[in-house]
């Protein structure tokens, strides 16, 4: 009898309950959503009173459990790969900073995970359980150019956060791709030399190495938010006009197969504002959008098929709340992990360029051959220093040892020292990272030609942060 | 009594301890003297003595499986013939019911299949038997057999003005046997590239094209190329040898009806570029060579996507209308569908420069790749029904043949040959070995550099603390069990380390292969026997030249009587039976490197740690100027040839 009881206990009682089938995590915000001028972008997106809730089926009449109980505002939920925990950003008072919280669904335990100055936003999870987030939370419209730029951090449980990105651009939203890379939105700062360019999608590895452009914008005066990977391999993101304070925008997508050539509207037949698109485990899309289109203050939840071109009747339109975001409570495959080759005891990395003269930039009449590369670094926001020059070999290759964890730029120079091409500082290498590129402004998604670059046969040229001066501005 | 026993035991233990303690000085000193390495510290008796190959995993019996190799569908479409090389059998199945009708024994590892036009004779290449067998399809009994080159893997039948012909790709002797069918005799054996592996003939039978798996031997820092060898089946003469730059591992080739095209799947390799990353096809990617049989022009087109790869392209089939090609991805477990009309349209509008650059554009394939058909494990060879309505896919490591409706791309069913062998750790390990899903974006598998566990004949520049300073020759995994440590620097103590974290960090760029799969993987690798011996007579006796070479290999003095120092004798470092003392030595090539074993060494060119020696001869004629790699400076041409002849028997 006792044994049978123990067996029963082992079979049921000792097992942690799984995620409620069909349940959703919703971000709900009140209809009054005026944010003051000093607000940050999360205050605008999740005004006071916003909450993260667990809603069981049937939606609307099922049980609603407030996960952000005790917080003044909350949003941006992410469900762990095992479907048992929810991560979201929240704040304890109107004046407090946004931080990342975790709620264990089984016991309703709320735990603050971050306490980083400037606040934290956009939680995402690595397969090893580490938390990735952006910090600090930018102010609305980037009104203060002296505010530190938002960058990505990684925090393993029980450890302090470590900075992952070292860009001269602001990084505000990210997601984890199935291949383990972190996909993020990079937005030029007001002080950026390259500020005429718009926001773009980039990827890094989970240790911050191998920063790579993923997809470029078509309009520089736009904001990109909430990149998400759908189950069919499309990347969806929300685009709004620069300066817009309303969260969300038009939902657009790129295909993983050709991200630079496939940008298109997700719902060509829907004209309303979309505040969130999340994949469901069956391939459907969970969409939060205006209902009806144009009703600025009313956001409803829709479920759309993966091939849908518009949104039909909402699944849930709550008269008391805007349904801003919806995430399915379900187990989902963990992305690939990666062993880092980074060595934190080092202070430099290496960059190999296979051909500095290879570029997709159209140049009338051809371009003189580069003989040197000037390495630039943005040592503080808006301050660019020349670190030194690296010889370019006759095949166009160069190899340089450069300081790690600082925004780096490059100028290719002809034999007279004139600047042929310029890449403003926005890339970086991590300590001991060996990085390569095919060319300067080379066409995207290119594989290299198979040849042995001459630069690997000559001693490496090192440039360092010391003895730096302002970058010369002579150009052709 | 008890006390006395204890005392004896104590004395014996102390004596043994002292003996061992003193002994280590003896044996280390012994090894230092023998090897000439004064700093040697970590050795055991087993480095040189008490080694037995019979205890190694590859010498043990192993289970056999119903793995499908070659496929061919009868001209009336009613039957499909399947080579089961691991069983020494050929199976006949009904295409409609997908049931096995008959299985017959064909000794010698039957691998490639072809039928004559009437479907009366089935031609079977026997990979280990070095022969071509002829089976009467009515009785499925062997009616003829003829010796061909070494390790024949593919055969094609064609009708020519001079009579029916068979063209056979001999993968180990690097040549092509051209046979007349009646009488069954060899007309000629022209040279191919390295490791010819697939054959296709033009519809008029005037030309045969042979795809080769390995690149030609060239200097290690120059751009490698495999080749497509074109021959005239009537005359058995080579017509043309077209280089495929930086491409290799072609295992299929197919003519395209209604177009003057020959299509060859390939692996586009970038072995000369330092492996600082794998993203964007930095190490390798899959492609399709489009050969214009009228002009001879070859364009390489990508088959992968910008962020998703379909590794290890293998078999290819083209539908009778010439509108679609199907390419198996052995590592990706898919069959890629290529719309040849769309491919032709792209080629039409592209200028010459765009065509030459096409293979480097990883986002190009959606222009002409229209579908990916998922399969079970390790799709290899493909065959189409004569009407093109059904595609048959050999799922090699699933022991099944997948039947796909080519119109809807829906699965019709499977011909089940065996149980998949999941109870066999070696088979499970082979599944891991050939699976690209462990690698970043599924870019490649273990097999991508070690086809059949062997070598791809290339050197790769692996990532280290520096960039471009670690060019290393790829080493065969055949017969590697018991030869630890691994890596050219001899620092990896086991296959578990080599294939686990090391492979993950340097190549896969992901988490290591999970422990359970890793155990299976290393079990499979340890089960790989040494590569077949290239030159040994059937009775195992050495020729006079080989015997003289053996004497040189084991010589302790030169012919003039001058003693050869221990550390400069062949057999000191390459000590039988593994022909490796499993220690590192400086042989004058710029460092100290692990001693590779020599079992099957004749088929592992190039040689030395960075692949600088293109042949066994070059090791001594070019790279042993200071007698560090054995005392060989006394040798004349005949003596060196004798030594090489002997090495080819190992």
Centroid of chain to Cα A111? 24
Closest CA to B467 of A421, A214, A348: A348
For A334, the closest chain B residue by CA position comes to B511
Closest CA to A52 of A85, A20, A82: A85
Q: Give A66-109 pLDDT, tens digit per residue.
A: 999 999 999 999 999 999 999 999 999 999 999 999 999 988 89
Percent of chain B at pLDDT above 70? 100
Percent of chain B at pLDDT above 90? 85
B534 touches chain A (CB under 8 A): no
| A189 located within any domain | yes
- Cross-chain Cβ contact B280/A456 below 8 Å: no
For B285, the closest chain A residue by CA position comes to A447
Q: Are residues A291 and A180 in the same domain?
A: yes
Radius of gyration of chain A (CA): 24
Q: How far apart are CA B508 and CA B504, in angstroms?
A: 5
Least CB–CB distance from B441: residue in A179, A337, A457? A179
Kindly report the nearest CA distance between residue A250 and chain B, in angstroms.
25
Q: How far apart are CA B519 and CA B495, in angstroms?
A: 9
Total beta-carbon pairs less than 8 A apart between chain A and chain B = 136
- Cross-chain Cβ contact B221/A255 below 8 Å: no
- Cross-chain Cβ contact A456/B468 below 8 Å: yes
Kindly report the nearest CA distance between residue A149 and chain B, in angstroms.
28
Q: Are residues A323 and A353 in the same domain?
A: no
Kindly report the nearest CA distance between residue B439 and chain A, in angstroms.
9
Q: How far apart are CA B247 and CA B303, in angstroms?
A: 13
Mean pLDDT of B307-326: 97
Q: Give B1-46 pLDDT, tens digit per residue.
A: 678 888 888 888 888 888 777 777 777 788 787 777 777 777 777 7
Mean pLDDT of A256-269: 94
- Cross-chain Cβ contact A447/B281 below 8 Å: yes
Global pTM reads 0.93
Q: Are residues A170 and A35 in the same domain?
A: yes
Q: Are residues A285 and A366 in the same domain?
A: no
For B365, the closest chain A residue by CA position comes to A257
Which chain A residues are Cβ-neighbours of B510 within 8 angstroms? 180, 336-339
Q: Are residues A197 and A266 in the same domain?
A: yes
pLDDT surpassing 80 at residue B76: yes
Query: A6: Cβ–Cβ under 8 A, 6 or more apart, which residues?
Result: none
Mean pLDDT of A142-161: 84
Q: How far apart are CA B458 and CA A175, in angstroms?
A: 38
- Cross-chain Cβ contact B469/A456 below 8 Å: yes
| A342 located within any domain | no
Mean pLDDT of B433-462: 96
Per DSSP, the three-state class of B492 is strand
- Cross-chain Cβ contact A180/B269 below 8 Å: no
B285 touches chain A (CB under 8 A): yes
Which chain B residues are Cβ-neighbours of A352 within 8 angstroms? 274, 276, 467-468
User: What residue ranges do the domains of chain B occupy?
Assistant: 32-60+533-647
User: What number is the ipTM of this complex?
Assistant: 0.92
Distances (CA, A) of A248 to B316, B402, B425: 47, 46, 52
Range of the domain at A314: 20-328
Q: What beta strand segments (E) does A181-261 contain?
A: 182-188, 200-204, 212-215, 222-229, 234-241, 250-255
CATH code for position A375 = 2.60.40
| A13 located within any domain | no
Q: Are residues A91 and A172 in the same domain?
A: yes
For A346, the closest chain B residue by CA position comes to B465
B281 touches chain A (CB under 8 A): yes
| A119 located within any domain | yes
| A339 located within any domain | no
pLDDT surpassing 60 at residue A4: no
B334 compared with A470, residue with greater pLDDT: B334
Which chain B residues are Cβ-neighbours of A358 within 8 angstroms? none
Q: How far apart are CA B179 and CA B288, in angstroms?
A: 29
To which residue do tokens 């459990």 refer? A65
Which chain A residues are Cβ-neighbours of B307 within 8 angstroms? 177, 179, 256-257, 259
- pLDDT-derived band at A172 (thresholds 50, 70, 90) equals confident
Mean pLDDT of B189-193: 97
Say how many C-beta atoms besides its own lie within 10 A of residue B514's C-beta. 12
Least CB–CB distance from A210: residue in B277, B306, B510? B277
At residue A405, φ and ψ (nearest 5 deg) are 60, 40
Among B residues 455-494, those touching chain A with beta carbons less than 8 Å apart: 461, 463, 465-469
pLDDT score recorded for residue A6? 52
SS3 content of chain A, % helix, strand, coil (to 5): 5, 40, 55
At residue A283, φ and ψ (nearest 5 deg) are 95, -15
For B274, the closest chain A residue by CA position comes to A452
Contact present, A26 and A55 (Cβ < 8 Å): yes
- Cross-chain Cβ contact B308/A256 below 8 Å: yes
Among B residues 209-268, those touching chain A with beta carbons less than 8 Å apart: 221, 223-224, 245-246, 268
A318 compared with A259, residue with greater pLDDT: A259
- pLDDT-derived band at A245 (thresholds 50, 70, 90) equals low
Least CB–CB distance from A258: residue in B269, B306, B359? B306
Q: Are residues A103 and A132 in the same domain?
A: yes
The β-bridge partners of A153 are A133, A163
Which chain A residues are Cβ-neighbours of B368 within 8 angstroms? none
Q: How far apart are CA B350 and CA B545, in angstroms?
A: 57
pLDDT surpassing 60 at residue A467: no
Interface test with A, best of B224, B285, B362, B467 (most A CBs within 10 A): B467
B511 touches chain A (CB under 8 A): yes
At residue A436, φ and ψ (nearest 5 deg) are -135, 155
- Cross-chain Cβ contact B305/A212 below 8 Å: no
CATH of domain B32-60+533-647: 1.10.760
Domain final residue pick, A328, A359, A390: A328
Least CB–CB distance from B274: residue in A180, A205, A352? A352
pLDDT score recorded for residue A60? 75
Q: How far apart are CA A58 and CA B646, in angstroms?
A: 79
Q: Are residues A122 and A160 in the same domain?
A: yes
Say how many C-beta atoms besides its own lie within 10 A of residue A314's C-beta. 20
Q: Are residues A312 and A421 in the same domain?
A: no
pLDDT score recorded for residue A12? 47
A interface residues, B as partner, C-beta within 8 Å: 127, 177, 179-180, 205, 210, 212, 233, 255-261, 336-339, 341, 350, 352, 354, 399, 432, 434-436, 443-453, 455-457, 460
Q: Mean pLDDT of all residues in chain B?
A: 94
- Cross-chain Cβ contact A257/B307 below 8 Å: yes
| A319 located within any domain | yes
Which chain B residues are Cβ-neighbours of A341 within 8 angstroms? 463, 505
| A118 located within any domain | yes
- pLDDT-derived band at A220 (thresholds 50, 70, 90) equals confident
Q: Are residues A416 and A290 in the same domain?
A: no
Q: Give A17-64 pLDDT, tens digit per residue.
A: 566 778 999 999 998 655 555 688 899 899 999 999 999 888 877 789
Least CB–CB distance from A339: residue in B221, B279, B512? B512
- pLDDT-derived band at A258 (thresholds 50, 70, 90) equals very high
Query: A307: Cβ–Cβ under 8 A, 6 or more apart, which residues?
Result: none
Q: Are residues A177 and A249 in the same domain?
A: yes
Domain count, chain A: 2
Q: Mean pLDDT of all residues in chain A?
A: 87
Which chain B residues are Cβ-neighbours of A448 within 8 angstroms? 270, 273, 280-282, 360
Per DSSP, the three-state class of B527 is coil
Q: Which strand ranges, in their side-by-side order, compose the sheet holding B100-105?
A: B71-73, B79-84, B89-94, B100-105
Q: Is the dihedral of CA B451, B453, B458, B459 positive or negative?
A: positive
pLDDT score recorded for residue A474? 40
Q: What beta strand segments (E) does A30-140 contain?
A: 51-55, 64-66, 73-79, 85-91, 99-104, 109-112, 121-125, 131-135
Q: Are residues A139 and A224 in the same domain?
A: yes
Interface test with A, best of B223, B279, B307 (most A CBs within 10 A): B307
At residue A12, φ and ψ (nearest 5 deg) are -125, -60
pLDDT surpassing 60 at residue A9: no
Kindly report the nearest CA distance between residue A446 and chain B, in angstroms.
5
pLDDT score recorded for residue A472? 47
Per DSSP, the three-state class of B322 is coil
Crossing angle for the helix pair B515-526 and B425-433, nearest 10 degrees?
100
Closest CA to B273 of A447, A136, A89, A266: A447
pLDDT surpassing 80 at residue B507: yes
Which chain B residues are Cβ-neighbours of A260 within 8 angstroms? 363
Kindly report the nearest CA distance between residue A341 and chain B, in angstroms.
7
For A340, the closest chain B residue by CA position comes to B505
Q: How far apart are CA A447 and CA B356, in angstroms?
A: 13
| A68 located within any domain | yes
pLDDT score recorded for residue A38? 62
pLDDT surpassing 60 at residue A471: no
CATH code for position A41 = 2.120.10.30
Least CB–CB distance from A446: residue in B361, B465, B510? B361
Q: Give B580-589 pLDDT, tens digit per residue.
A: 999 999 999 9
At residue A389, φ and ψ (nearest 5 deg) are -120, 145
pLDDT surpassing 90 at residue A212: yes
- Cross-chain Cβ contact B274/A336 below 8 Å: no
- Cross-chain Cβ contact B468/A453 below 8 Å: yes
């Amino acid at each position: 009898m006792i044994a049978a009881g123990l067996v029963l206990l082992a079979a049921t009682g000792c097992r942690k309950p799984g995620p409620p089938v069909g349940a959703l995590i919703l971000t709900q915000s009140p209809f009054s959503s005026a944010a003051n001028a000093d607000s940050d972008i999360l205050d605008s997106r999740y005004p006071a009173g916003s909450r993260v809730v667990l809603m069981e089926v049937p939606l609307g009449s099922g049980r609603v459990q407030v996960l952000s109980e005790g917080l003044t505002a909350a949003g941006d939920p992410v469900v762990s790969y095992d479907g048992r925990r929810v991560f979201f950003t929240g704040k304890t008072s109107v004046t407090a900073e946004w931080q990342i919280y975790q709620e264990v669904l089984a016991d309703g335990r709320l735990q603050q995970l971050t306490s980083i100055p400037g606040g934290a936003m956009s939680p995402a999870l690595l397969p090893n359980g580490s938390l990735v987030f952006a910090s600090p939370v930018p102010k609305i419209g980037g009104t203060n150019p002296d505010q530190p730029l938002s960058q990505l951090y990684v925090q393993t449980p029980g450890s302090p956060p470590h900075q992952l990105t070292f860009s001269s651009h602001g990084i505000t939203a990210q997601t984890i791709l199935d291949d383990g890379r972190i996909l993020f939105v990079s937005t030029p700062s007001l002080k950026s030399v390259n500020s005429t360019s718009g926001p773009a999608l980039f990827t890094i590895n989970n240790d911050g190495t191998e920063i790579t452009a993923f997809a470029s914008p078509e309009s520089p005066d736009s904001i990109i938010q909430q990149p998400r990977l759908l189950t069919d391999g499309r990347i969806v993101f929300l685009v709004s006009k620069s300066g817009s304070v309303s969260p969300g925008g038009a939902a657009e997508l790129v295909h993983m197969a050709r991200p630079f050539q496939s940008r298109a509207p997700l719902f060509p037949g829907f004209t309303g504002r979309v505040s969130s698109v999340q994949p469901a485990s069956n391939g459907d899309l969970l969409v939060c959008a205006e209902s009806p289109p144009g009703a600025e203050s009313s956001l409803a939840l829709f479920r759309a098929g993966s091939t849908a071109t518009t949104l039909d009747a909402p699944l849930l339109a709550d008269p008391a709340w805007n349904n801003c975001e919806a995430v399915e409570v379900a187990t989902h495959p963990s992305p690939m992990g990666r062993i880092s080759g980074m060595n934190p005891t080092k202070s430099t990395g290496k960059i190999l360029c296979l051909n500095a003269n290879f570029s997709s930039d159209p140049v009338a009449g051809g371009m003189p051959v580069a003989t040197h590369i000037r390495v630039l670094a943005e040592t503080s926001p808006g301050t660019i220093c020349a670190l030194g020059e690296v010889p370019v070999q006759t095949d166009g290759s160069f190899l340089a040892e450069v300081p790690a964890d600082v925004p780096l730029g490059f100028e290719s120079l002809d034999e007279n020292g004139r600047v042929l091409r310029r890449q403003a500082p926005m890339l970086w290498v991590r300590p001991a990272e060996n990085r390569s590129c095919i060319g300067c402004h080379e066409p995207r998604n290119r594989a290299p030609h198979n040849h042995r670059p001459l630069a690997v046969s000559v001693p490496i040229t090192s440039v360092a942060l010391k003895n730096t001066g302002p970058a010369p501005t002579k150009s052709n | 009594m008890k006390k006395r026993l204890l005392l004896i035991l104590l004395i014996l233990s102390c004596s043994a301890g002292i003996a061992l303690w003193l002994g280590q000085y003896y044996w280390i000193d012994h090894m230092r003297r023998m090897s000439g390495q004064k700093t040697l510290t970590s050795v055991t008796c087993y480095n040189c003595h008490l080694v037995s190959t019979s205890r190694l995993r590859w010498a043990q019996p192993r289970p056999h499986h119903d793995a499908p190799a070659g496929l061919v569908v009868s001209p009336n479409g009613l039957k499909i013939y399947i080579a089961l090389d691991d069983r020494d059998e050929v199976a006949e199945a009904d295409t409609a019911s997908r049931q096995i009708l008959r299985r017959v024994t064909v000794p010698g590892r039957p691998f490639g299949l072809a039928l004559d036009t009437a479907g009366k004779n089935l031609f079977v290449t026997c990979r280990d038997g070095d022969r071509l067998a002829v089976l009467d399809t009515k009785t499925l009994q062997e009616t003829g057999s003829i010796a061909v080159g070494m390790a024949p893997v593919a055969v094609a039948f064609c009708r020519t003005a001079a009579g029916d012909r068979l063209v056979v790709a001999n993968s180990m002797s690097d040549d092509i046997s051209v046979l007349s069918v009646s009488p069954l005799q060899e007309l000629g054996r022209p040279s191919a590239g390295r490791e010819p592996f697939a054959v296709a003939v033009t519809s008029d039978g005037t030309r045969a094209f042979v795809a080769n798996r390995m690149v030609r031997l060239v200097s290690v820092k120059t751009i490698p190329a495999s080749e497509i060898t074109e021959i005239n089946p009537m005359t058995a003469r080579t017509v043309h040898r077209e280089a495929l730059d930086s491409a290799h591992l072609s295992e299929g080739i197919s003519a395209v009806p209604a177009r003057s095209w020959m299509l060859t799947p390939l692996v586009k390799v970038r072995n000369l570029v330092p492996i600082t990353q794998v993203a964007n096809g930095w190490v390798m990617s899959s492609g399709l060579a489009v050969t214009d049989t009228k002009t001879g022009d070859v364009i390489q087109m990508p088959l992968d996507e910008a962020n998703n790869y379909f590794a290890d392209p293998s078999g290819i089939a083209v539908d009778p209308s010439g509108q679609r090609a199907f390419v198996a991805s052995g590592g990706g477990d898919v069959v890629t569908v290529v719309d040849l009309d769309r491919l032709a349209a792209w080629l039409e509008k592209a200028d010459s420069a765009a065509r030459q650059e096409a293979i480097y554009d990883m986002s190009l394939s959606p222009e002409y790749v229209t579908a990916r058909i998922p399969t079970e494990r390790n799709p290899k060879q493909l065959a189409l029904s004569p009407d093109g309505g059904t595609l048959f896919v050999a799922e090699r490591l699933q022991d099944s043949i997948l039947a796909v409706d080519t119109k809807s791309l829906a699965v019709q069913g499977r011909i089940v040959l065996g149980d998949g062998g999941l109870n066999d750790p070696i088979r499970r390990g082979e599944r891991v070995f050939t699976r690209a899903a462990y690698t970043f974006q599924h870019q490649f598998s273990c097999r991508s550099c070690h086809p059949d566990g062997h070598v791809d004949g290339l050197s790769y520049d692996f990532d280290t603390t520096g960039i471009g300073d670690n060019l290393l020759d790829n080493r065969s995994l055949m017969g590697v069990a018991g030869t630890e440590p691994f890596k050219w620097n001899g620092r990896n103590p086991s296959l578990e380390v080599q294939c686990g974290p090391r492979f993950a960090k340097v190549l896969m760029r992901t988490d290591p292969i999970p422990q359970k799969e890793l155990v299976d993987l290393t079990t499979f690798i340890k089960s790989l026997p040494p590569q077949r011996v290239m030159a040994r007579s059937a009775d195992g006796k050495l020729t006079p030249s080989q015997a003289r070479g053996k004497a040189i290999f084991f010589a302790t003095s030169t012919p003039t009587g001058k003693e050869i120092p221990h550390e400069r004798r062949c057999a000191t470092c390459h000590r039988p039976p593994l022909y490796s003392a499993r220690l590192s030595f400086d042989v004058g090539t710029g460092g100290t490197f692990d001693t590779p074993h020599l079992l099957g060494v004749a088929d592992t060119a190039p040689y030395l740690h960075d692949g600088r020696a293109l042949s066994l001869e070059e090791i001594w004629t070019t790279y042993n100027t200071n007698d560090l790699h054995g005392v060989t400076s006394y040798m004349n041409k005949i003596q060196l040839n004798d030594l090489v002849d002997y090495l080819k028997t190992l």
